[in-house]
Amino acid sequence: MMAEFVSGAMPVCIPECIIERHSRRTLGVMIWGAIAYHGRSQLLRIVGNLNSTRYINEVLQPQAIPFQQGLPGAVFQQDNPHPHVAKTVKSYLDSQQVRLLPWPAYSPDMSPIEHVWDIVGRRLARDLRPVVSTDELWLRIQTIWNTLTQADIQNLFNSMPRRVAALIAARGSHTKY
């Protein structure tokens, strides 16, 4: 998509407003990870569609709950796709006495993990070598995840008061974050 601003009859293209479209299908992998002020989880690769049962059995039980329980006083935050908010998942989290942070249905500017994924994506984009398989993509993502500094993650947590203030000022709309 290209943004055009018309002044008289002369269209002006602004490079920052141009979004490149790929003409062929790109490789992708679904991943799950968690961050905390003083640590991060192992990264999980999710193959196929994730439903609530798989979310409990492959993410929550083996990874998310043990990670969260290792952080005294931690509150678990997740976004709202169906596998995360299904009744079976809510029941499981209750049975594990997981403290959940209520999360609004629309809040893309707020979650620190989304900004971690943005950092991962930008670092992937800087590597100009073609990715030839999903396994190679997974390895590159793992390498980036494992080399993120904890200071970068802490900066995201430290920016939360500014993010909340910006979201309030924007009346729930988009912010610079």
Q: What is the pLDDT of residues 72-100, one digit of tens each?
A: 999 998 888 888 889 999 999 999 999 99
Q: What is the pLDDT of residues 20-68, one digit of tens each?
A: 655 566 789 999 999 999 999 999 999 999 999 999 999 999 999 999 9
Q: What is the pLDDT of residues 123-152, one digit of tens each?
A: 999 998 989 999 999 999 999 999 999 999
Task: Rounding to the nearest 10 degrees, give the CA dihedral for residues 154, 156, 158, 161.
Answer: -160
**Do residues 77 and 102 lie in contact, with contact meaning Cβ atoms separated by under 8 Å?**
no
Sign of CA dihedral 142, 107, 65, 28: negative
pLDDT at 170 over 50: yes
Distance CA 144, CA 12 (A): 37
Distance CA 53, CA 66 (A): 18
The pLDDT confidence band at residue 10, using thresholds 50, 70 and 90, is very low
Question: Which residues are registered as beta bridge partners of 5?
Answer: 12
User: What separation in angstroms does the CA of 131 have from each of 102, 118, 125, 128, 160?
Assistant: 38, 18, 11, 9, 34
What is the percent of the chain where pLDDT is above 90? Answer: 59
| pTM for the structure as a whole | 0.79
